[in-house]
Structure 1
């Protein structure tokens, strides 16, 4: 049992390291943050100062080692856009994220379980096939297509929900 737990823990650590490394590399390959965050009329001196302040003038291997070292120490850094601690930026969104997650879970319970029971009670019949069709469509549609479709239906056509933000329903 202990061996099993150790293997799972090692796999989790390796997975976290791989995700962290992949994220670091992708963010470095997307372009120069200074060119994205500074105004178009920023001079070369301002860009160089920005890069020096954030350590972007260092070789990528040194940036990576500093990144890993800071993460291991619990320092998740600062937001390049606002200069605030990254943990603060994430923490202020936790409430909205939990609300969204809870609502989605509630919908799964209210729609998914009764739908599964109805399909099971009507196995092989047309109602079961219709339920399977909707389940297959919902599962195979990309999230962004489903999201935009639901926004169109509930925010634009029916006007039950706001189209953006976390305002209350308009019912």
Structure 2
């Protein structure tokens, strides 16, 4: 017996729930959505935009795998409701490179082998980019303190710090992060 194939996507939203219209500039492109009020930025990025670089780790704001840059600040997107952040400029790992040219932090992570399994890497990189744009980091100890919200289960911290130190030397040669506020 043949199993029927659904012709439309399954809508799991209960009847009577209204969706909220939101608009974002995501990686330099303006996009509009209608989302449920409980939709997080993480779910919007992954499920609506298909930007899978932003990872769902703990889903409680404890690991940093979901870090993206929102209006120039690094945030845990699993804790941010899309409706509350309406109008924001969002940069994900997919939006850091300039064509085939990697962002200096991305290149430094490769050069210093600053990842093992790679699951935390997009969040680590987005956090590092925003941290460097903040301009408060001067030493390896500063980096360790400022990056403490991004966990690496593999323990690649030594190489992550080395990569960020290397990228910091390049910071005057790169343009500000898209969406960063002066």
Structure 2 length-normalised TM = 0.25
Higher-Rg member (1/2): 1
Query: Quick check: which one's helix share is greater?
Result: 1
Relative contact order, higher structure (CA 8 A, sep 6+): 2
Structure 1 length-normalised TM = 0.27
Query: Quick check: which one's strand share is greater?
Result: 2
